[in-house]
Amino acid sequence: MKVLITGGAGYVGTKLVKQLAAMEAVSKILVYDNLSRGNYNLFLGEPITNGHKITFIQGDILNSRLLRKTLEGVDVVYHLAAKVTTPFANTDPHFYEQINHWGTAELVYALEDSGVQQLIHLSSTSVYGSSEAEVNEQSPLNPRTFYGVAKMRAEEHVQRLVARDQAVIIRSGNVYGYSKSMRFDAVINKFVFETNFYNRITIQGSGRQCRAFIHVNDLVYNLAQLLNHPVPAGVYNMVAKNLSVLDIVDILKGLRPALEFLFVDQHLELRNITVDTDLKLAAFLPLAVPKQLRDELREFLATFSF
């Protein structure tokens, strides 16, 4: 099986490449990335087991000519390429529209003319916007950020492939946890970094705002399982925990009792979004069993070099 991963050198992609390389069913992995984040960690450190399967292609998702050429002979595409800049997801709409919306559109146009069997499109629970009630795949979409709007519009293009039984849309919760290609703008990763190096974390708003989360290891494991198990075309949420910011702070405070925290605009009640963790995907494939958050954060803190 020949697999293409757009955004394969990113936070999730770096781990997914390693996971797929270890699978016997995967004979070739094409990593397609423009390296816009300047992150070269996929290429460094200990050699990846079965690294001979991997080929890197430096290309932009908007480069339709290169994209179409790269798709030749590919069986499955994981579309991870995206602009993700939490917490600035509501600034500069053009920034998100170009990559997350129109980049996905270019990929779908190319896939419609290709022999690719399946697209696995990584979307986001941000398409739900905010809700006081727990949401699921049947809930209406109401994105509140430019990032969420662009992700929703991207899904509209992918739905053409869903209608042809050639795509699944995975709406991931907020991703956290160690990867060689780290993102430290996401809330848990940011808090863990600040805990380790500053012994002080900064909390925006009251801290009571809730989000849905999933550890990067669990996300990657679940994405890889999609290759081994037939899943009906459609939309699936992929989350593990619903947590408030204060839930996270409490656990970090337990791990590092001397930790200080500072509130900014504590009077503000920021939006909530919680997602049903009884996942529809569980009916079709074995999902990763999430660890306790305390154990995950303890392990995360242990990954820092000092």
- Strands (E) in 160-246, as ranges, are 167-172, 174-176, 200-204, 210-215, 234-238, 241-244
| CA triple 9-174-119, angle to 5 deg | 55
Structure tokens given for 146 = 């430019």
3-state secondary structure at position 190: helix
3-state secondary structure at position 3: strand
Residue with tokens 């899943």: 231
CA–CA separation, 33 and 219 (whole Å): 20
Q: Give Cα 58 to chain centroid, integer Å.
A: 20
Residue 149 to residues 57, 108, 128, Cα–Cα distance (Å): 29, 18, 10
Q: Where are the alpha helices (DSSP H) in 5-76?
A: 11-21, 64-70
Greatest CA separation for the chain: 58
Structure tokens given for 297 = 């954060």
Structure tokens given for 283 = 């009916």
Tell me which H or E stretch contains 178: none
Annotation says 147 is catalytic? yes
Write the DSSP symbol of residue 228.
T
CA–CA separation, 152 and 142 (whole Å): 9
**Which residue among the candidates 147, 176, 178, 236 is catalytic per the annotation?**
147
Structure tokens given for 26 = 């995967």
Q: Give Cα 262 to chain centroid, integer Å.
A: 28
Q: Which amino acids are annotated catalytic?
A: 147
